Structure 1
Amino acid sequence: ATGTGWTCDDAPGGVLTCTLSSDLAAGAPAPVLTVVAGIPSSQTGDVVNGVEITDTTTTDPEPANDADQVSTTPRTEADLGIAKTSITEVTAGEEAVYELRVVNDGPSDAAGVVVTDDLPAGLSYVGFTSQQGVWSCDETGGTVTCSLAGSLADGDQ
């Protein structure tokens, strides 16, 4: 936190306490205090951030305006990438095995990840295996659709 005339202490548990170093004259605005807070990449839903002000030496005749809060909905962004490689030598009449690598380059975790693989004429869906995560795959009309249960964390593949 920064602000002219403010001294701030960051306590455990995310509580920030800032003290104005001089008296505040009646009717005068205090110097602006700027607080920067990090949001985890796994954050979903609204973030509600509250603030309150107290005066330890003077009685406040209107305490109802001594607290406020703001609700923010963080935008999630996940730079997803995919690479497909053939990991077996393909022989007519046998199975071809393809490896699909999905990566999340962040900055947010990706939820609702779906991979769609349109098989060309001549190929038919046999099945799948997964080394990471819990995937479910179904095939309809030559299109294989795989969904990841849960989310793909920033930096994971």
Structure 2
Amino acid sequence: MPGQNEWFDQLYREHSARLFKQAYYVLHNSHLAEDLVEETFLILLYKQQDLVKHPNLAGWLSLTLKNLICDELKSARHRLEMPLISDDSATCVDTYHQPLDELLPKGLLPKEREILILLFEEQLSYDEIAQHLGISVLSCRTRAFRAKAHYKVLIRDAENKF
């Protein structure tokens, strides 16, 4: 359908900053807020055909983000937090000096590995990564979201094997 990219880009430009503020206000974590806003827009992208004629897309985006935030807060209550530094060095594996590339699962595609390394090890912003890779910021965010999702699937599958 012609004009889909323009429609999506326009919505992203109009609403992403407001949605980020909404998520950050609740979560107090800019990275998590950014991820949930990106996930909101990916849901919009997947449901684009059904939502093109929606009478209140701003409200739909806000409600979708609110639901993602609620899901995140619920799952965070049950997540086990591990300290970064342990007093018992004999039982602790030293991963601090290991490059991220060695810690990532083998099933990731080279493009996925690259974007995760730039994002988490190099700690580059989406703008910097997009410039480095020669792609748009929206493509960068989408690629990062998909890489994180694939990583989660690979880790979950590895955990289920044991």
Q: TM-score, normalised on structure 2?
A: 0.17
Structure with the higher helix share, 1 or 2: 2
Greater radius of gyration (CA): 1
Structure with the higher strand share, 1 or 2: 1
Q: TM-score, normalised on structure 1?
A: 0.18
